[in-house]
Amino acid sequence: MFSKSGLLVLALIAAAPLRAQDEPVKPTDPESPYDNVQVLARAMQLIRQDYVDEKKISYRDLTYSALRGMLADLDPHSQFMEPRDFKGMQEDTRSEFGGLGVVVTMEDGALTIVNPMEDTPGFAAGLKPGDRILRINGTSTENLELPKAVDKLRGDVGEKVTLTIQRPSTKEIKDYELTRVIIKVKSVKDARILPPAEDGGLKIGYVRITQFNEPTAGELAKALEKLEKEGMQALVLDLRYNPGGLLSSAVDVSGLFLPQGTRAVSTEGRTPGREYRTGARWGKPRSYPVAVLVNYASASGSEVVAGALKDLNRAIIVGETTFGKGSVQSVVALPDGSALRLTTAKYFTPGRQVIHEVGVTPNIRATLSQQQEFALLESRRDAAMGGGPVSPEDDPQLARAVDVLRGTLIFAERQQSRGDRAAGKGS
């Protein structure tokens, strides 16, 4: 049954006359770009001629709207970027941009925080993975497209932004007032030797990568050299909550642990596939055992590194199955300063395992309860504000990775001792 208002709308639509020139004309060729562009051009002409609000119908506005819809309909990762968005993306990859420091996604139609980036206003305020952003400065985020949401979160440095947050675990709704700052992302953090094990004082190193940017491989190389000088015997490489970044950076990081010329990842799409191999820029022979920590928020570049080191038996993967974002987005600049971010291929690990929508499964599964996860993030926040570093006792996944490496080192030592004894008997 129609409401009165519904009948009124139908009546008004029915009363609108159909112009003769607007008679539907079937394109002679559905695949013809000329025929279909004619349809788009005619639609834009009619909108500019008759739409009630003149402020919304500039050719640029209509073109950008068409491009946004065109790209959004392809898949969740393809995107049209206006000039300001494109500039912001370029700033991201250079590790410096303005904002609040929260990585967001759309989950079940809700704007959801994947991870608050460390050393940022969002992290300092205590925002957590899974928090839902209901409103930004009082404006509802319902039905808000992800690129538009990101645009609202960014803005002028020094400007205050109020986020209305719902925490699903408690159903609590709370306002957080944050101030935008220049976000300088230090991608390599917490490089140190972990507290020595009681059983022999083994030196196990730890280093964490927050995302993959232009400087990441160089920063990691310096951190490894420092730990190696301190006598590091094994390494925990922490990629949890790492959303990815530059593919070239992920390949370079893989190259710190693999021989030069090793295929770290390959891509396949409609164009001929491509292989990405490790180079010699940051590499040197490294044979000590490595454990890679991953979780549900390890995505893209993190999955490339974890997949390469797992398939090539260079590392033991510990934690949870990764996010499963294994598609390649090529960014193509357009003449007016805007750009297309277009999905053009999918990633495959060296063992031909697809990453997209599957993720990288760990060799050893280790999980955190939500309470343990929140405690870990609180410990990291305290550490960033001057407290001590997070220890394995406060991080069950890290403790599991350390146990694995201890076992590997002890086994290797015993094998070496047996070999030495056998060589002595034979001499």
User: Which residues are part of the catalytic machinery?
Assistant: 300, 311, 325
Q: What are phi and psi of 405, to 5 degrees?
A: -70, -40
- Supply angle C-alpha 292, 293, 298, rounded to 5: 110
Q: Distance (Å, rounded) from C-alpha 301 to C-alpha 84? A: 25
Residues 309 and 251 sit within 8 Å (Cβ to Cβ): no
Residue 293 Ramachandran class (φ > 0 left, ψ -120 to 50 alpha, else beta): beta
- Supply angle C-alpha 222, 225, 231, rounded to 5: 150
Nearest to 355 by CA among 310, 303, 313: 303
Q: Strand 234-238 vs strand 204-209: parallel, antiparallel, or unpaired?
A: parallel
Q: Strand 234-238 vs strand 290-294: parallel, antiparallel, or unpaired?
A: parallel
End-to-end CA distance of the chain: 98
The partner residues of 172 in beta bridges, in order of sequence, read 167
